[in-house]
């Protein structure tokens, strides 16, 4: 009886050992199993490409007049140069338009194609102090359109010098045959004033003076023009137009040089102050 009990006890012990062994193996299996799958690391963000620099640039522009001051009605010549700001080389091709500032706005002049030197030349008649610029019209895909810096050309107002000199002589007495500087007759006054202000030499003769200068209609006369009063076709008196309905003259004995109303319609206009 004790013998059978011992056998049963050993069997129970063996079963328990086997269970413990299987348990240990199970636990070991759990311990050595592949670790649980983890999320794959996020792919690195693709770098943002920098914006490609524009290939189009504004050319470097320079406008040079042949003179900064010109006589009224004369042409000014303007030379426009265009170059690449990156290389300094001339811009070859494309067109550029001359613009003139009149009042409060720009008005377009002539459009010219740039030559192989990157240049364009313009001419413009000047009748008042004027501001200019040149607008490059673009040359895709290399050059952008845009305006040049401005340049100003002034009018040398020689007519104003004529009026100023005649005014300065006001009060000088009339004397027949006198041509200054202390006394004048009519043609002596105009001879003296135009020689001193604009360098024009006139004869000391009223009738002969109508053949000098440029003929101008009465409606187009300007201060500083010569007025020659006529009897038939012969000039018998001369004066300097002062604007409005006025003139400077040396009228007759007992009078002085001064500013007076134009008293006759029978005259022709000659322009010498140009």
pLDDT at 11 over 60: no
pLDDT given at position 37 = 45
Over range 6-25, report the average pLDDT.
Answer: 44
Cβ atoms < 10 Å from Cβ of 271: 20
Q: What is 159-271's CATH number, 3.90.1720.10, 3.40.50.720, 3.40.50.1370, 3.40.50.920?
A: 3.90.1720.10
Tell me the pTM: 0.50
Over range 180-188, report the average pLDDT.
Answer: 97
Same fold, 60-156 and 159-271: no
Whether the CB-CB separation of 162 and 78 falls below 8 Å is answered with no
Can you give the residue ranges of every domain in the chain? 60-156, 159-271
Q: What percent of the chain has pLDDT over 70?
A: 80
Over range 42-56, report the average pLDDT.
Answer: 52
Distances in whole angstroms, Cα of residue 274 to Cα of each of 65, 74, 83, 123, 207: 19, 8, 37, 18, 22
Q: Which of 112, 117, 55 is nearest to 92 (CA)?
A: 117
pLDDT at 8 over 80: no
Q: Which CATH code for domain 60-156?
A: 2.60.40.1940
Rounded CA-CA distance 2/237 in Å is 175
pLDDT at 220 over 60: yes
């Amino acid at each position: 009886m004790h013998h059978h009990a011992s056998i049963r006890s050993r069997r129970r012990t063996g079963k328990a050992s086997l269970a413990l062994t299987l348990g240990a193996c199970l636990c070991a299996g759990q311990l050595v199993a592949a670790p649980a799958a983890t999320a794959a690391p996020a792919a690195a963000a693709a770098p943002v490409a920098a914006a490609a620099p524009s290939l189009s640039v504004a050319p470097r522009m320079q406008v040079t007049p042949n003179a900064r001051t010109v006589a009224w009605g004369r042409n000014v010549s303007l030379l426009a140069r265009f170059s690449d700001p990156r290389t300094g080389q001339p811009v070859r091709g494309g067109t550029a338009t001359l613009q003139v500032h009149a009042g409060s706005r720009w008005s377009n002049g002539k459009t010219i194609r740039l030559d192989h030197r990157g240049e364009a030349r313009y001419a413009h008649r000047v009748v008042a102090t004027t501001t200019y610029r040149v607008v490059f019209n673009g040359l895709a895909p290399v050059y952008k359109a845009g305006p040049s810096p401005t340049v100003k050309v002034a009018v040398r107002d020689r007519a104003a010098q004529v009026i100023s000199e005649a005014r300065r002589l006001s009060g000088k007495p009339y004397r027949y045959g006198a041509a200054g500087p202390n006394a004048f007759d009519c043609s002596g006054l105009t001879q003296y004033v135009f020689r001193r202000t604009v360098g024009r030499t006139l004869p000391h003769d009223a009738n002969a003076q109508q053949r000098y200068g440029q003929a101008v209609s009465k409606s187009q006369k300007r201060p500083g023009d010569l007025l020659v009063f006529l009897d038939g076709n012969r000039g018998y008196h001369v004066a300097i137009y002062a604007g409005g309905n006025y003139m400077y003259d040396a009228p007759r004995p007992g009078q002085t040089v001064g500013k007076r109303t134009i008293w006759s319609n029978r005259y022709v206009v000659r322009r010498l102050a140009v």
